[in-house]
Amino acid sequence: MKTVIFGATRGMGRALARLLAERGDELVLLGRDPAELEKSAKDLEIRAGGAGHDRVGTEVCDLFDRKAFGSALDAAVQRLGGLDAVIVTAGVFGTQDELTDDADLLDRVLVADFVNTVHFCEEARLRLLESGGGKLCVFSSVAGERARRTIFLYGAAKAGLSYYLEGLDHRYRGEGLATICVKPGFVRTSMTAGLDPPPFTGEPDAVARSVLRAIDRGRPVVYAPPIWRWIMLTIRWLPRAVMRRLRF
C-alpha cells in the first residue's frame, strides 16, 4: 500500500509503521519533529531492505496547526504517486487529575484528540476519495466507550472522535472509503509511562499486528488487545448507579 502515517515516531504508531515497512509498503511519515521523523525513516528503510530503497518519506505536520494538514497530505501523495491508506495515531494524553488541574492541558487534549484530528481526517477523506477510495485508520480509545469517573475528560474527546469515525464509515464506505476505528485499552508506551498498568495491559507490537489485520480486512472497529471488546461490552450494560460506585 501507499500509506501516510501521522504519529509514527513512537509507541503504537512506530510499531505499526515497522510492520508496514517490513512487508514492503511505501510510507510517508507525518510529525512535528524533523529529527525524529528522519530517525524513524532511516530505521524503516533498513527494515524495508536497505536505505537505498527510498520507500519511506517524511513531511513535517503539527497536529496543532490544522492549516498545514492539506499541504502535508498533498506533498505525501505527490511523493507516493497515489494514496491507499492514511493512519492517524498522533494524540495527546492526560490523566483525570492532570486535566482537572490544568486548563491548558485540557485544551490541548480536546483540540488534538478531537477537533484537529477530525479536521485532519476530513482532509484525508477528500484525498482518499480523489484517489478512488482506500482505508482511513484512526486511533481512538476504549475510554470513549462509556463515561467513567477516573478518565471522563480524556474519554470525552475520544468519544467524540469515535462517533465521528462511525458516521464517516456509514457515509462513505459505499463510495470506497473504509474507516477503521481503533480502540486500544491501556498499552505500554511513552504516553502511559509512570502509570500503574492495569490487568490486560497491551504491548505496542501486539496491538500493531491486530490493527494491521483490521486495516487489510477493512474492519470498521478493532479493540486492542482483543479482550477489551468483551470488557467494554460488559461495561456498556452496567447501570448508571453501578458506574458511579466503581472506581476505575
Catalytic residues: 154
State in Å, rounded, how far the first CA of the chain is from the last one.
39
Q: What are φ and ψ of residue 151, in 5° steps?
A: -155, 30
With b for 16 or more beta-carbon neighbours within 10 A and e for fewer, the 17-28 pattern comes to bbebbeeebbbb
Contacts for 33-37: CB closer than 8 Å, 24+ residues apart: 33/9, 34/58, 34/60, 36/9, 36/10, 37/9
Respond yes or no on whether the N-terminal peptide bond of residue 226 is cis (omega within 30° of 0): no
How does DSSP assign 56-122, residue by residue?
EEEEE--TT-GGGHHHHHHHHHHHHTS-SEEEE-------HHHHHH-HHHHHHHHIIIIIHHHHHHH
CA distances from 197 to 12, 146, 182 (A): 16, 20, 20
Contact call for residues 179 and 220 (beta carbons, < 8 A): yes
